[in-house]
Structure 1
Amino acid sequence: MSDQIKKAYIAGGCFWGMEDLFRVLPGITDTEVGYLGGENENPTYQNHPGHAEGLEISYNPEIISYKELLDYFFRVHDPTTVDKQGNDRGSSYRSAIFFQDETEIAEAKEVIEIVNASKRWPGTVVTTFEPFTKFWPAETYHQDYLVKNPNGYTCHFERFGTFL
């Protein structure tokens, strides 16, 4: 088994629900919620202009590939809505892939083509590609939120089987 753990950075609405679903996938070694792609240093829940509520996923690529992560991502949130998931509105809740290199962009574009061709969603994918710069961990009370608060709000769930 590989000792090389990779990280992926995505945003698809409220970070609580995304984390709760990704944490249990085979090959995921850790998840952390936080802020990505915004304007200020040291963002907080009360002050994160331009930042998306996002997820840092640590994973073993020998068990789950980047494409498989994205396949799941496009199954657990609606990637066809701009700045909206469930009851949440605003750019903090945008669908975004924070890419680290050209390979991630190419694989993401491949998966999006497959998702769009499937016609499972009523519209086309509007997920943005944003360069990864820095991940800012969210406050402690947001980490593992739905484990601590099992009846807490989420708009994330598996809607379809795999696209791949």
Structure 2
Amino acid sequence: MLPNFSIQQPSFAISSHLQEQAWMSNRTHSSQWAQWNSYINQISLQTVLPWLRSEINSQAALLFEDWARINGSSVQLGQKSLVLIPDLSIDRSEIRVPQFWVDDTDHAGDYYFAMQVEPDDSWLQLWGYTTHRQLKAIGEYDSRDRCYSLAMENLILDINVFSVVQLLYPDEPTRFEAQSV
């Protein structure tokens, strides 16, 4: 059952056909973690990508994924990139973004979407987003799991804001630039 519908935080049903197809295609990975991570990321991307194409940018396309090693998918939106970060936790107190998506200059995103995924009930919800600039400036890095975290109160919780920014301010500065001393 889908969570309460919110225009600000869109929810999506995950089709059983997609789940079955994703599970079968990811069973070849060498570890259970890689199988599960690939499955969650694949159903998340394939559920949200059609919405991104219809609501944000008709040319939205997968830019990079390596689900056997890292959580998340990078999607190209014109001159900007968006990293989808699926999470199975019901705790929405923060977004946790793997360091790879933040510090690797070839793969760092401009935007990061927090996604709650509930595969057993076949739904996911986009519940907030942030920019690379904000994540680097006020996020906290945890060397134990090599992730940046940003508290919910620092995220933009209304996904409609993202659509408006893309339309009215497509050149929004999103990347963190280190200050030279």
* Shorter-chain TM-score tier: under 0.3
**Higher RCO (C-alpha 8 Å, min separation 6):** 1
Q: TM-score, normalised by structure 1?
A: 0.26
Tell which structure's C-alpha radius of gyration is larger: 2
Q: TM-score, normalised by structure 2?
A: 0.24
